[in-house]
Structure 1
Amino acid sequence: MNLDRRGFLGAAALFAAPRMLFAQAATERRFVFVIQRGAADGLNTVVPYADPAYAAARGGLAIDAATALKLDGTFALHPSLAELHKLYGAGQASFFHAVASSYRDRSHFDAQNVLETGGGAPYRLKDGWMNRLLGLLPRAGKDAIAFSPAIPLAMRGALDVASYAPTSLPQANDDLMLRVEQLYAKDPQLHALWSSAVEARGMAGGMGGGMGGGMGGGANRQQPGALGRMAAGFLARPDGPRLAMIETGGWDTHSAQNARLAFQLRGLDNLIAGLREGMGAAWSQTVVLVATEFGRTVAANGTGGTDHGTGAVAMLVGGAVQGGRVVADWPGLAAASLHEGRDLKPTLALESVVAAASAETFALAPQRVASTLFPDATAARPVARLTNFV
């Protein structure tokens, strides 16, 4: 059988299913960033049920306190987050409320650019904060591997990122693999790319299958629990990657929010459950950060949803997390307390949470991490002791 370069692209499609990426470093500690694209509604994720203005401000969108999963005397989790509630009770999950990046407008594209680059304004920086974090770590072997046809901006930069993408297509037979190998044996660039893909395929082993009914985000249709277990299969290996990014989409709930958000949060809960289950003993060395580009309006709109807002929720989950806490300098939901009269007012810089969690995970100097990941950030209230790492 003849294979030209177009044939190679067809064969490479055997690796095509997106939305996760990994980086390897010489450490046993793991850091995973889960991005919620679309602006996840923090007020119905970590519910401020004791705020006297919550029920009235939210109207029909308000989560019934009787069904919510209590965290403390002020906050509760959405009923779909049963696994996260268990992890909170086990001291392995913390929630950060009224957080936001430095961005204060309401464009998804601009806000995600700020969140992923760590810049003080959209498009000011060209590389991602995770790639710069990777540059601070002692490294061995492959620096990074991406599970995405296009590497997300947070992982782009000076350090190369290889790629692997799971698929539900049948596995290529040995004859096809051998012919492609022979075809590119004398092409330095394509041979290196092919070798990298084959190495990642070997690391994945039999984890690839099952597509369908994912959490949104275009071609990312793998079941959330299977996605988490597959990620864990890479991260838990002694020679596996130590940085990971997982993309989730579908959080832009402009209409019919109650049913849509319940579905999204159930998927996130299953994703975390899959990670925890798959990591095994390595879970004790793992920190998972969950964050979104901005929050949503306090009041509902006319279609049973919410519009783009400001203050949101971030989460830290993992066996290495010093959990069982809701961290919030709560501004309140009374009309006079809202940002621009419509949004939850942010009182905690998301950059501070990211920098502190990254520094503690990898035992790096906090100031160096903060200035590298977020070079435009102004001094913010420090956040410390987020993990159990010494």
Structure 2
Amino acid sequence: MSMTRRQFVAALGASSLLTLWPGTNALASGSDTRMLVVLLRGGLDGLHALPPVADPAYVRLRGALAPDDPLKLDGSFALHPSLKFMHQLYADKQLLPVLAVAPPYRQRSHFEAQDCLENGTAKPGGSTGWLNRCVAALPGSDGLAIATVMPLILRGEGEATTWSPPLPQEVNPILLQSLQPLYAADPVLAEAFSRAIETEAAGEMAMQGKGGKRAGVQLPQTMAAAARFMSKAEGPRIGFVEDSGWDTHGNQAGVLARKLSELDNALRAYRDGMAARWERTTVLVVTEFGRTAAVNGTGGTDHGTGGVAFLLGGGVRGGRIAGDWPGLNARDLNEGRDLRATTDLRALFKGVLAKQLQLSESVLDTRVFPDSRDVKPLDGLLV
């Protein structure tokens, strides 16, 4: 990736500063911290990734879908057995799960929920993202998205670039769902599109049966690439990685066993790639909403509300569970079907940004997350 003009000027300025004052460096000024946001598009089932093993309603609602041999955490919650590295981070007090969390949007559209999460406002809409507004509020900082096209979360006036892996990602199933009605109305293209969808589905099912995945760049490779850039002394302070395929309406147990294993390996690859800088790095793993509390008729779950987020890094106050658990009894569920969200994602974001990037409360309330004074940051997330 070529160096931008701002990166060049920043590097030149840093060199001059080190020449004049050898004892001055990025570590001493606190400007070498890093933050990475990982967005799992499609709606990760938080009850599958972080099973509430002590809630008596859980097994009744999930039945055979409840993961076997979950990795115990605090007696009330566990991690999916595919998340072995994250379990070790929890033991090392570098992983903090945040439960019953969601953006302020409380409906069940993928696109609107992702839009709300990325633009950082109380409802979908807008042309800039909150992560870009963070970059703009930090003079001399840069943002990096590991993506082919700049995502909404990093669009805006702040300095941000994209880097695309050399191999294409697999086709986003949500995009295919959106295109299907358009092609179905075309007498020429409808049949060809239908055949393409069938071929894609057959290939995916065949790979799942073999325990593998179709060709393309996987999340561990993407996260390793993010670490290569962000671990450099003059690398971007703010990064973004996205992954699709988390919309598990059917065969959820098999799909998430593979996807969660990829996520676990990806986080390990990023931690290893950051090396010594890991101690001053924070990673936020988020998704647009949760899933229904009960299993559906095809071994999956449908769009829900409250989900889970994971905060990890060398400076995280981990080894515990954050957030308020609303319970899974019928009277406690949102609309009688979803885990009720008790924490606004913006409160989590604010708590990290205030500590990790030293952004003031006024900047967070008015610039990064406009009109959000009533959303107070979560305290005590980082050491």
The TM-score normalised by the length of structure 1 is 0.77
Within 5 Å, give how 1:313-352 maps onto structure 2: 313-352=308-347
Paired residues, what number? 316
- Which residue of the partner structure matches residue 193 of structure 1? none
Q: Report the Cα offset of residue 382 of structure 1.
A: 3.7
| Aligned with residue 355 of structure 1, among 345, 350, 354 | 350
- Which residue of the partner structure matches residue 128 of structure 2? 127
Q: Report the Cα offset of residue 224 of structure 1.
A: 2.8
Alignment of 1:80 with 2:82, yes or no, is yes
Alignment of 1:46 with 2:71, yes or no, is no
Alignment of 1:115 with 2:110, yes or no, is no
- Maintained 8 Å contact 2:135/2:159: no
Q: Report the Cα offset of residue 302 of structure 1.
A: 0.9
- Which residue of the partner structure matches residue 166 of structure 2? 167
* Identity score, percent: 45
- Which residue of the partner structure matches residue 152 of structure 1? 151
Equivalents in 2 of 1:91, 1:377: separation in Å?
Answer: 30
- Which residue of the partner structure matches residue 187 of structure 1? none
Equivalents in 1 of 2:265, 2:249: separation in Å?
Answer: 24
| Equivalent AA in structure 1 for residue 64 of structure 2 | G
Q: Report the Cα offset of residue 387 of structure 1.
A: 1.1
Change (3 A) 1:352 1:78: same
Secondary structure of 2:286 counterpart: strand
Equivalents in 2 of 1:306, 1:376: separation in Å?
Answer: 34
| Equivalent AA in structure 1 for residue 328 of structure 2 | L
RMSD: 2.3
Change (3 A) 1:162 1:330: closer
Change (3 A) 1:59 1:151: same
Q: Report the Cα offset of residue 163 of structure 1.
A: 3.0
Equivalents in 2 of 1:374, 1:134: separation in Å?
Answer: 13
Equivalents in 2 of 1:233, 1:220: separation in Å?
Answer: 23
Change (3 A) 1:144 1:235: same
| Aligned with residue 238 of structure 1, among 230, 233, 237 | 233
- Which residue of the partner structure matches residue 198 of structure 1? none
Alignment of 1:380 with 2:375, yes or no, is yes
Alignment of 1:288 with 2:283, yes or no, is yes
Equivalents in 1 of 2:101, 2:167: separation in Å?
Answer: 38
- Maintained 8 Å contact 2:221/2:266: yes
- Maintained 8 Å contact 2:347/2:378: yes
What does the per-residue CA deviation read over 1:79-138, in whole Å, with 9 as the maximum and x for residues that have no partner? 000000000110111000001111011000000000000121111x22000010111113
| Equivalent AA in structure 1 for residue 235 of structure 2 | G
- Which residue of the partner structure matches residue 179 of structure 2? none
Secondary structure of 1:315 counterpart: strand
Q: Which runs of 5+ in 1 are unaligned?
A: 1-14, 16-22, 170-212, 214-218
Change (3 A) 1:160 1:368: closer
Equivalents in 1 of 2:122, 2:115: separation in Å?
Answer: 10
- Maintained 8 Å contact 2:365/2:373: no
Equivalents in 1 of 2:298, 2:381: separation in Å?
Answer: 39
Secondary structure of 2:137 counterpart: coil
- Maintained 8 Å contact 1:227/1:274: no
| Aligned with residue 89 of structure 1, among 91, 94, 97 | 91
Equivalents in 2 of 1:56, 1:280: separation in Å?
Answer: 43
Moved more, 79-88 or 366-375: 366-375
Q: Report the Cα offset of residue 325 of structure 1.
A: 1.4
- Maintained 8 Å contact 2:231/2:275: yes
Change (3 A) 1:220 1:119: farther
Q: Report the Cα offset of residue 254 of structure 1.
A: 0.3
Equivalents in 1 of 2:157, 2:139: separation in Å?
Answer: 15
| Equivalent AA in structure 1 for residue 166 of structure 2 | T
Alignment of 1:302 with 2:293, yes or no, is no
Change (3 A) 1:381 1:158: closer
| Equivalent AA in structure 2 for residue 53 of structure 1 | A
- Maintained 8 Å contact 1:145/1:161: yes
| Equivalent AA in structure 1 for residue 51 of structure 2 | V
The TM-score normalised by the length of structure 2 is 0.78
What does the per-residue CA deviation read over 1:319-356, in whole Å, with 9 as the maximum and x for residues that have no partner? 12111111131111011110000000111111100111
- Maintained 8 Å contact 1:352/1:370: no
- Which residue of the partner structure matches residue 260 of structure 2? 265
Alignment of 1:34 with 2:38, yes or no, is yes
Equivalents in 2 of 1:384, 1:224: separation in Å?
Answer: 30
Change (3 A) 1:314 1:220: farther
Change (3 A) 1:145 1:244: closer
Change (3 A) 1:307 1:376: farther
- Maintained 8 Å contact 1:224/1:274: no
Equivalents in 1 of 2:353, 2:330: separation in Å?
Answer: 35
What does the per-residue CA deviation read over 1:200-251, in whole Å, with 9 as the maximum and x for residues that have no partner? xxxxxxxxxxxxx9xxxxx993233332222111111111111000001110
Equivalents in 2 of 1:350, 1:164: separation in Å?
Answer: 26
Q: Report the Cα offset of residue 63 of structure 1.
A: 2.1
Secondary structure of 2:321 counterpart: strand
Equivalents in 1 of 2:279, 2:358: separation in Å?
Answer: 16
